[in-house]
Structure 1
Amino acid sequence: MNFKSVGCFIVIAFCYPAMSLFSQSSYPFEERLASAASFYENVEVRSAMADAINAPFYSLLTRQKEIHSQVLSPVAVEFELRKSEDSFYLLFKNELSYKYPVWGRGNYIIKRDLRSGDFLQIKIFLQNDEMSFIRLMPLDESRTSLEMSLYGVTIYNGIVLPVSIEDLSVSSFARVMHLTKDMIQWEEIFTDASYPEWEQVASLARRIGEDVDFLYESDDGAQDHLGRFVLIESGEPISGQAGAVNCSGFAKWVADGILISRGAESALNIESLKAPSETESRMDNPWSMAHLDRDPYFGLDWSRNLARFLRESEPGSPEAGLLDMDLRNVPFFEYKENIGYELEKLKSLLYLQAVKEPGYFYLGAVNSLYGKDPVLWQYYHIALFFPWFDENGDFQLEVLETGDISSLDNLKYRYPQSFVHLSKVKASKGFVSPWKPDSIE
């Protein structure tokens, strides 16, 4: 979206009467759903500015940047006019922390042809993210098509609304939701920002993050059930390297901290985490079976076993199977057996999964073709993913790996064209660091 600003940078404020919201308040279900998600409307401003929205460009040249307050919404709205070489844009930007970002939740960007004035599209942003939006485009004088993108992944496309795009430019977002309710499962897109599960996930991630500096990265390191830092492969102590973990050792350290907070007397036994999680499908892969010295399934088995032990430690939980914690069913995404999902699309996937099942974090076994002589499909890294929505309805995704607070972008950069197999774990209310520098070794 390459455009430049038009007009003076003078801010003026207006306040419009409720006016029964122009007969827009007739979608109570959709309004409640959006409101609970802290997704705020700016239809008051757009409706009051209908003449400007439909005016030819030349008549808007002197239009100044304006800030408008609203009666039925808690956020102010900034209107701005911009133009590109052959189009002009009418921006209605919701306030966010006393600023008005272009890519903000609930923002409308109306694009029109510079010469003809025709409406070309409307973008409505679902998150504070350039790649998370609904795009409305005209089909004819009385119909509009809709597509939806979430963090760069198109999840809905080709949905037809029996209303002109001009009409939708001054309609509420609740009306868009209502017109598409038989085609879009809006309960999969919006969630209640006040759910206590969100704070539980966020709190656990913060608590773990407070202690990660006590650890440092070391090949094949982990803390065993006796509290010693040892080599995972051999069980031999790592002399003089307390706090030394690799990615697997870090995931175990987190699991041990949760288990100890639930009353466990000791950390997990390393050998129990190496146990194969399944064998039948592996036997069908003679190439991998012939190179078991490479331990190609280690990360998958380790993360599955951690998730299983954590599930069984939950009060009242029955004994869990090795595959019970696999994340296999996420709307719009196809699960590949023992491989999982594309790492590149993980943020949109975890957004939808968090809406579907609040209160979980995920152990991820990163996998792809890996190594040389031979090149094998291998599970070579483990990371932890903590998804939640904050009180403003903004989606947050914390990534922790190898004793560090990382990011999904960092992970994607280091492991391009990879997949991640996810095992889900219910976020615990407690976490006790299994080791600190002043601990007895």
Structure 2
Amino acid sequence: MPIPAPIPVPVPVHTTVGIIGAGPAGLLLARLLHDAGIDCVVLESRDRAYIEQRQRAGILEQSTVDVLRSAGAGERMDREGLPHDGIELRYDRRSHRIDFPSLTGGRRVMVYAQTEMVKDLVAQQLADGAPLFFDAEVAGIEGVHDVNDTATATGAPTIHFHHRDRGPATLTCDYIVGCDGFHGVARNAVPAGLRRTYERTYPYSWLGVLAQAPPAYDELIYAHSSRGFALASMRSPTVSRLYLQVPGGTDPAEWPDARIWDELDARLATDADPGWKLERGPVVAKSVLPMRSWVVEPMRYGRLLLAGDAAHIVPPTGAKGLNLAVADVVVLARALVQRHVTGSTELLDAYSETCLRRVWRAEHFSYAMTELLHTDPAHSAFETKLQLSQLDRIAHSRHAAAELAENYTGLPIAPPSPYAS
């Protein structure tokens, strides 16, 4: 069924907050600001169909679920999402379940695809939210230094963009928020001499598979195997989302369907259930995902603020990417509301430091999970034994299991804003 075209609306020439990128970060920030009475405009370079179809994350932390509900975007998630109370670890042909609620005081996660979250936020935005423009490619940003600094001020922060149907345009803003991902333009508006980048590239990738096959498991399975890592996930009761560790640079065409299923069964095998097999079905999509950890500091430069993948990327092993983006914009919305209501920039001034504390904890968790579960080509038998020892400790130590569960279900974001209407 084709997506109905939005009703044309004029492109504003000025707004309080200009948001670049209509991914989860940009859309949720627009919703939070709109609900607080702060005008904003969202510019997205792609069309609506593209952003609603690109396959991304599927695990929502407890805090992300709570934020979506409070923003009025949780109705379909609560109806169609799959609450999960744990994950299963498989290693050395053994199996151990991590029970989240008993280890975290009741916290859990929700399986709900990012594509569905984006659809919900787009529909909400177009129905009663701030202006959202698709096919609006940003060409550049200027004037984002502190406009109160009269020694350097040259005008209001400005976004230059080109709309597919309306041609070139400019949008002046009080603040600009870059939610345009790793390849976006926002981060490059921070002078190179002021940016610090931290990065780790992993010597393997993930082959991601979407299959029309009912999951033969109730919760996600993370498997350490001598053959490489495997993850059995899901998108719905009829659709499986599956991953295999593969060498970097792998061509998905090298992996026909039968090879994928056979390898998944081999890596997920457990002596606890020797006859266990995955439910097979047609593979409808497959792609190779490089593994990388990456952070840029600071996340604020003058009137420009970065959020989500524009500021940080994590390997997907810890299920943190989407949830970090949500945490960023919750902190940012709280700061912008304080500025709007009281005139104070206290929270805005602390935005980068506040977010980076949580970002680096999530980076560490994602790194630790990745190093724990994958077979590094450079590993010796000694290092493999260390991995198995740590997995065994998680299986037999409540403290170690609780550390994993607390990080997986999500660390606290921020207290509720006292300035919200």
Q: TM-score, normalised by structure 1?
A: 0.20
Tell me: higher relative CO, structure 1 or 2? Use CA pairs within 8 A at least 6 residues apart: 2
Query: Highest CA radius of gyration, 1 or 2?
Result: 1
Q: Which structure shows the higher helix fraction?
A: 2
TM-score (norm 2): 0.21
